[in-house]
Structure 1
Amino acid sequence: MSTAAAADEPLPELDLRLTQENLEDLYEHAPCGYCSCLPDGTLVKLNQTLLGWLGYTAPELVARQCLQQLFTVGGRLHYEMYCAPLLLLQNQVRELSYLLRRKDGTTLPVLMSAVLLRDTNGQPLVVRVTLFDITERRKYEQELLRARQHADEQREQLARANEELTRKNEQLSRINADLDSFVYTASHDLKQPIDNMTGLFQELRRTVRFPDAEAVPMLDMFAEALQQILSTIQGLTEVVQLQRQLEQVPTETIELRSFTEEIVRSLQQRLSEPAATFALDFQAAPTVRMTRSSLHSMLYNLLSNSLRYAQPGRPPHVRVSSAHVGNALVLSVQDNGRGIDLVRYEQELFQLFRRFHPEVAGSGMGLYLVNRLVNQAGGRIEVESTVGKGTTFRVFLTTGIPAAATSSGPSNLSA
């Protein structure tokens, strides 16, 4: 049926009983309270709704009490000092909040509106008052107030927690700075005596002959121990120096392919048979933004570890790639080497001086340094590894800058 046709239909006949409302009954049992009072507040008329709210009868109030006497003490003061003068000034007030005192001593929250009527001479004659029960509204307002107070308390607790966290972070920063200074000083002070010992030992081996056949392997073991000490001292110095450099060197946008190829070339000069191969794929994310020295140390350590821990009898193959995952740039270094038993060593993977293949020479500082550099850049590392099959390191960097894939497609490099 169309709208026009519906509009043409006659409306149902109006029940005439609805037009015959009793005005007195409508006043007495209205859904709000009505009362009339003299300009001084003396009550002259109240409807049954208001009397029912208050618990009084009309004779108990009419000509016996004033409107303001129905309010609490605070409400009475407000009425006399604010509401009554305002009525005289502008002949009406709207939606003033008061508490009515019932006969049983309880209170009822209401909103009051009032109109002042005047006689022909302009003199105040009568005040007509309308009162609305706002009990539910008051409960809602109180609930909102409690929720706001709770939110304020939570905000204060959070602010205190943040202050405490800031204080602890500052304390940890000072401790780390002190530790770095101690490590740097200790490694610097130890290096000279160890260098002297190394020189003296080399001179000893050159000039002294030992008749005991067992002396030669012992000398070799001593030389290896000296070299291990030197390597550890050098690693500690490198960690602290690199940390200090990162605090001063700004970040920059680095083209990954050429940067990684340079590292690969430097590693290839040290390779022994069998030859290693490298696959580079930076098509998905050609550039990264971070400090150049930090990226160099991170990639150099991961790539050199891939070669150092190659599986015996299997030519090393290393794949380096990049991708965007959410808001992070992910650098992946995957090898086919010995692998790491993560079930056993996962919690110790990035600890200082921790080594998982004692048969391979190393200082146990590479992964520690990589993890520290990644954390410094605001990133994180994920590791997947299978013993005898290889390891994949994924470095998530939030500083990565998306770039169009133009000139960093897959490439293969061989030693």
Structure 2
Amino acid sequence: MSAEENEPVPELDLRLTEENPEELYENAPCGYCSCLPDGTLVRLNQTLLSWLGYSRQELVARRCLQDLLSMGARLHYETHCAPLLLLQDQVRELSYQLRRRDGTTVPVLMNAVLRRDAQGEPLVLRVTLFDITDRRKYEQELLRAKAEAEEQRELLTVKNAELLRINAELDNFVYTASHDLKQPVNNMVGLFEELKRTVTFHDPEAVGMMGMFADALQQILNTIEGMTDVVQLQRQPNQAPVEAMDLLTFTKDIIRSLQASAADFTLDFAAASTLPLPRTSLHSILYNLLSNALKYAEPGRRHHVWVSTTHEAGGLVLTVRDNGRGIDLHRYGQEVFQLFRRFHPEVAGSGLGLYLVRRLVQQAGGQIEVDSTVGQGSTFRLYFPAA
């Protein structure tokens, strides 16, 4: 004998053992009724009578089960349920509407069992009915919520299509405008160079003004080229082939192109020597981050830039850190990667570089974060998913 069998049986309230079966039947939490094979009611419990609003005398031997059903439920009972009972002696969880005396209805689930006599002839039908009013309300709420969700989804689809159309039109406008403006500005640059070559200015302030004008022209050209790059990036996402670029060689080539002799670089790609990206994307990312690091060097301090790779959470992290001027993130933290946002107006720039970097990182399935302290430098961390 097991230890569980040896444990003493807990004492029970003796009143619980004195439950009257008739009382259990009459006040059960569900409706019970018994019928003749043709549906004539011979017995109903008090629960079912309370639901219907009839007295026992009004129904027993006077009405049929079918009479208590709504029109549609009665039709289904006679054409489907009754034949099925004769065929398999039981049905389960048929959803019907009971019709109360006052004309209202109550939704129920019906289970029924057909009992036969010794000769196999149908004798009595025993029916159990469960009130599913609350369940039906819940189902209706779900259906209503689903319909509202579908409506919202269709609305969002329409709005999304409209936004895509507007974005496409804006892209076309920006591309056309930048393309059409580039040639006139290049003509202005040529005319200005010819003017400087052929004209002599006697005003001592002319030299400074000429320099300012040249800087303004160059700023316009940089902005136009940046706008073109942005539109091309959005028009042709992820179309370039992915290559496993050697980071050390690639980064050194970019540093040489930047002519960054006035800065020190520390390159550490021991954790990951390659980064699977399209060549043009990797070049744009590193070029913009490194050129920004050089451009925003802190005056009076030897500039230093660190570029490294690490592994975190199954992905690759590319980090570019400098000891430059830094960015006031408390003031500009939400604007760092937005178009045309610049935080050091005394330094020439277009405000497009970091926007392009973020877009390229996002197209590769990654994300970018920045930490920065004014006067101490900035750290950009680019998170790429595992290949």
TM-score range, shorter chain: 0.7 to 0.9
1:221 Cα shift? Answer: 2.4
Provide the residue aligned with 2:199 in structure 1. 204
* Deviation string, structure 1 residues 349-379 (Cα, Å, up to 9, x no partner): 4542746151x4x2x12x5133224214415
1:55-66 → structure 2 map (5 Å cutoff): 56-66=54-64
Task: Return the alpha-carbon distance in structure 2 between the equivalents of residues 243 and 251 of structure 1.
Answer: 21
1:382 Cα shift? Answer: 3.1
1:384 Cα shift? Answer: 2.9
Q: Is contact 2:361–2:368 with CA below 8 Å preserved after alignment?
A: no
Q: Please state if 1:236 is matched with 2:224.
A: yes
Provide the residue aligned with 2:255 in structure 1. 264
1:79 Cα shift? Answer: 3.2
- Given the superposition, is the C-alpha separation of residues 257 and 70 from structure 1 closer, same or farther in structure 2, using an over 3 Å criterion? same
Provide the residue aligned with 2:34 in structure 1. 35
Q: Please state if 1:132 is matched with 2:131.
A: no
Task: Return the alpha-carbon distance in structure 2 between the equivalents of residues 46 and 324 of structure 1.
Answer: 76
Q: Please state if 1:340 is matched with 2:340.
A: no
Q: Please state if 1:219 is matched with 2:215.
A: no
Provide the residue aligned with 1:411 in structure 2. none
| Matching residue within 43, 48, 54 for 1:46 | 43
Provide the residue aligned with 1:183 in structure 2. 178
Counterpart code for 2:87: Q
Q: Is contact 2:263–2:304 with CA below 8 Å preserved after alignment?
A: yes
1:107-122 → structure 2 map (5 Å cutoff): 107-108=105-106, 109=108, 111-115=110-114, 117=116
The Cα RMSD (Å) is 3.9
Provide the residue aligned with 2:142 in structure 1. 147
| Matching residue within 73, 76, 91 for 1:75 | 73
Task: Return the alpha-carbon distance in structure 2 between the equivalents of residues 240 and 357 of structure 1.
Answer: 23
- Higher relative contact order (Cα pairs below 8 Å, separated by 6+ residues): 1
Task: Return the alpha-carbon distance in structure 2 between the equivalents of residues 84 and 221 of structure 1.
Answer: 101
- Given the superposition, is the C-alpha separation of residues 287 and 162 from structure 1 closer, same or farther in structure 2, using an over 3 Å criterion? farther
Of structures 1 and 2, the larger Rg is shown by 1
* Deviation string, structure 1 residues 166-206 (Cα, Å, up to 9, x no partner): 4303421331232022112201232023212212321224x
Q: Is contact 1:36–1:129 with CA below 8 Å preserved after alignment?
A: yes
Provide the residue aligned with 2:13 in structure 1. none
Counterpart code for 1:164: K
1:153 Cα shift? Answer: 2.3
Task: Return the alpha-carbon distance in structure 1 between the equivalents of residues 192 and 33 of structure 2.
Answer: 106
Counterpart code for 2:124: R
Q: Please state if 1:290 is matched with 2:277.
A: yes
Same amino acid, percent of matched pairs: 35
Q: Is contact 1:115–1:127 with CA below 8 Å preserved after alignment?
A: yes
Provide the residue aligned with 2:359 in structure 1. 375
How many residues are aligned here? 370
Q: Is contact 1:297–1:370 with CA below 8 Å preserved after alignment?
A: no
* Deviation string, structure 1 residues 97-126 (Cα, Å, up to 9, x no partner): 444444455545351414264796x8x6x6
Q: Is contact 2:267–2:307 with CA below 8 Å preserved after alignment?
A: yes
Q: Which moved further from structure 2: 349-358 or 180-189?
A: 349-358
SS in 2 for 1:134: strand
**Structure 1 stretches lacking a partner, 5+ long:** 13-17, 403-415
**Structure 2 stretches lacking a partner, 5+ long:** 11-15
Q: Please state if 1:252 is matched with 2:240.
A: no
TM-score normalised to structure 1 length: 0.73
- Given the superposition, is the C-alpha separation of residues 46 and 229 from structure 1 closer, same or farther in structure 2, using an over 3 Å criterion? same
Task: Return the alpha-carbon distance in structure 2 between the equivalents of residues 338 and 75 of structure 1.
Answer: 80
